[in-house]
Amino acid sequence: MAGASEADAQLVEPNTTETDAVAGVAVGLSAVLFALAVAAMFERVSLTGSLFGVQTVTLLGGLLTALGVAVIAFGAGSRLGYVKTTPDPSAGLIAGIGAAVPWVVVGGAVASQTLGLGTTVGAVAGIATGGVAFALTVLPREDLGSTLPLGSLLALTGLVFLTGVIGPTWVWELGWAQQAAITAEFLIPVATLFTTLYGGWASAKAYGGFGARGRHMGAYVLVYLNALSIVAFLFILVAFVVVQGIPGLLNGAEIGLGTGPQTTILGISVTLPVSVPFVMNGVALFNDFQGVLPAIVGTVWLVAGAVALAVPLGVGAAVFLTEYADRGRFTQVVEVATNGLWSTPSIVFGLFGFAFLIPRFGNGKSLLSGMITLGFMLLPLVVITSREAMLSVPDEYRDASAALGVSKWQTIRSVVLPAALPGVVTGVILGVGRIAGETAPILLTMAGGTFVPGSQTVDVIGGFQFTASPPFVANPALLEATSALPYQLYALISAGVGASSNVGNADEFRWATALVLLIVVLSFYAIGIATRYYFRRRLTHT
């Protein structure tokens, strides 16, 4: 095969050429646009304002148009032979459907709304436009098919923004009874986001020179943008709460020797060098700054109590089910029951606590009732994940241990449980994430008031008392009603404006509470992940 055709792909791709660079810039441009659109969606970038001295909408429109033109230019250049690529005969059905969907929307919307031709004509026009886009994608060679329809879509959207047909103040009244409307604030970011995804896809294909390599690049960029947007959403959510919550949290905060409250650590009285009243005070009439300390302490004890109850019970049950019980009807029933319990709505658990636990613990809401209720909620997940973790411990370990004459229980304790621990901890992490934020069960079983005075901060450790008669220990602190952060947040919001004078700026107070809740839950996560890391390391590094 000496005279291999020139269209054959080369084994070693030549170094980056100018055309590659153009396609690369197009991919980068779509990433920037994507980020801008996400930011605009969450109002981190104002649509009415301007960026780099240009109106935001104009900037978005300009970039979109540029991207569209670049994509089309690349496709056309490749088709006319100016750019060396290795396209397939057709872009394929999936690309065709992908290109048809946005064009159906555009065609339908323009015909029915902009031209005012009515729904039926709109539908017909939409399908017709989509059909044309489909045909233009599937029929020509891949380089043209995967760039022309998508590039035009980008350019059209960009021009609509540029020319101000859809400006920052644009509204589309849907005319429904609910007075729904699509505003520019929503439409512009969403439209940018979607068209940018298409633009990134098309330009990535172009960057890869179409063909198998191009498709690989296209998929790669799509997957990457997707993953990025998940991270971005999470980041923005957290950033949103942090930005809103910081002022309230730092209200009256001071750093410096002797500024903080006095505490006793290991019998030595120390004055903390920082003072953050919001997390160190309760609510009281004469406080300079109000805070949520009782709720923080309540949440921490609540979670600690629930974990202390659920983990031994759950791991014990899992040990029994995996190591001792014969696999059969009984284990299946238990499996179904645990799965069912895990999907039981939390309010049902709350009602159980309300009707069953409260009458037994002094007829009042109490921390103990809350702990037990949440412990029961956590239990099924601990059972499920521990069981899973123990089942995945290889039988070879058990055989090896048995062959050394080691008893079953000792084998479980020294080999099976250590190997299963990382999995167990994973389950507990997931479960704690759920129960730490639960509101409904707490509302019914343990919550006190909306604004909790600092004097109601539970002191579980200091609350233990020894008594002369059985059971010899008593802990009144466990039997008091106390608050927890999610409940407090709910109470603050539902208390409305009237009560807000208590705490100064009520809005700040709420956001700060939300931020503290987030921090507390994330700290539990961090502890869990560190624990898991520790146990996992012990298994593989010792």
Partner 1 sequence: MSENTTQQTQTASTDDRSPTDDRSPTDDRSPTTTAGETVEQTREEWTEYEFRGETKMAVEDLDVHYGDDHALKGVSMEIPEKSVTALIGPSGCGKSTYLRCLNRMNDRVSSARIDGSVTLDGEEIYQDGVNLVELRKRVGMVFQSPNPFPKSIRENIAYGPKKHGDLDTGLLARLLNRSDADERDELVERCLRDAALWDEVSDRLDDNALGLSGGQQQRLCIARCLSVDPEVILMDEPASALDPIATAKIEDLIDDLSEHYTVVIVTHNMQQAARISDQTAVFLTGGELVEYGDTDQVFEDPHSERVEDYITGKFG
Q: Which residues bind partner 1 (CB under 8 A)?
A: 326, 394, 396-397, 399-407, 410, 414-415, 418-419, 539-542
- Beta carbon of residue 529, minimum distance to partner 1 (angstroms, whole number): 20
- Beta carbon of residue 538, minimum distance to partner 1 (angstroms, whole number): 8
- Beta carbon of residue 418, minimum distance to partner 1 (angstroms, whole number): 8
- Beta carbon of residue 346, minimum distance to partner 1 (angstroms, whole number): 37
End-to-end CA distance of the chain: 58
Q: Are 87 and 210 in contact (CB under 8 A)?
A: yes
- Beta carbon of residue 337, minimum distance to partner 1 (angstroms, whole number): 24
Q: Are 251 and 278 in contact (CB under 8 A)?
A: yes
Sign of CA dihedral 29, 32, 34, 37: negative
- Beta carbon of residue 389, minimum distance to partner 1 (angstroms, whole number): 13
* Nearer to partner 1 among residue 163 and residue 407 (C-beta): 407
Kindly state the helix (H) or strand (E) to which residue 23 belongs, with its residue range.
helix 18-41
- Beta carbon of residue 402, minimum distance to partner 1 (angstroms, whole number): 6
d(CA 482, CA 457): 7
- Beta carbon of residue 46, minimum distance to partner 1 (angstroms, whole number): 55
* Nearer to partner 1 among residue 327 and residue 469 (C-beta): 327
Tell me which residue of 404, 412, 406, 481 sits closest to 450, measured CA to CA.
Answer: 481
* Axis crossing angle, helix 119-138 with helix 148-162, rounded to the nearest 10: 130
Q: How many residues are given for the chain?
A: 542
* Nearer to partner 1 among residue 332 and residue 410 (C-beta): 410
- Beta carbon of residue 533, minimum distance to partner 1 (angstroms, whole number): 15
Sign of CA dihedral 154, 156, 158, 161: negative
DSSP H helices in 250-282: 277-280
d(CA 37, CA 512): 28
Neighbouring C-alpha atoms within 13 Å toward the C-beta of 410: 9
- Beta carbon of residue 532, minimum distance to partner 1 (angstroms, whole number): 15
* Nearer to partner 1 among residue 364 and residue 394 (C-beta): 394
Residue 256: left if φ>0, alpha if ψ -120 to 50, beta else—which one?
left
Burial class (CB in 10 A: 0-12, 13-18, 19+), 438: buried
* Nearer to partner 1 among residue 233 and residue 324 (C-beta): 324
* Nearer to partner 1 among residue 141 and residue 398 (C-beta): 398
- Beta carbon of residue 394, minimum distance to partner 1 (angstroms, whole number): 7
Cα–Cα–Cα angle for 340, 345, 346, nearest 5°?
120
Residue 111 carries which side chain, given as an amino acid letter? Answer: A
* Nearer to partner 1 among residue 53 and residue 328 (C-beta): 328
Beta strands in 174-247 (DSSP E): 181-183
* Nearer to partner 1 among residue 383 and residue 420 (C-beta): 420
Kindly state the helix (H) or strand (E) to which residue 301 belongs, with its residue range.
helix 293-319
Q: Is 338 helix (H, G, I), strand (E, B) or coil?
A: helix
- Beta carbon of residue 531, minimum distance to partner 1 (angstroms, whole number): 17
Residue listed under structure tokens 């120390």: 270
d(CA 201, CA 220): 9
Tell me which residue of 83, 97, 104 sits closest to 145, measured CA to CA.
Answer: 97
The b/e string for 358-379 (b: 16+ C-beta within 10 A; e otherwise) is beebeeebbbbbbbbbbbbbbb
d(CA 71, CA 66): 9
* Nearer to partner 1 among residue 2 and residue 403 (C-beta): 403
Kindly state the helix (H) or strand (E) to which residue 523 belongs, with its residue range.
helix 506-540
Residue listed under structure tokens 């949520």: 292
Q: Is 281 helix (H, G, I), strand (E, B) or coil?
A: coil
- Beta carbon of residue 417, minimum distance to partner 1 (angstroms, whole number): 12
Tokens of 396: 């070879």
* Nearer to partner 1 among residue 296 and residue 390 (C-beta): 390
* Nearer to partner 1 among residue 467 and residue 540 (C-beta): 540
Q: Are 86 and 6 in contact (CB under 8 A)?
A: no
* Nearer to partner 1 among residue 175 and residue 541 (C-beta): 541
* Nearer to partner 1 among residue 494 and residue 542 (C-beta): 542
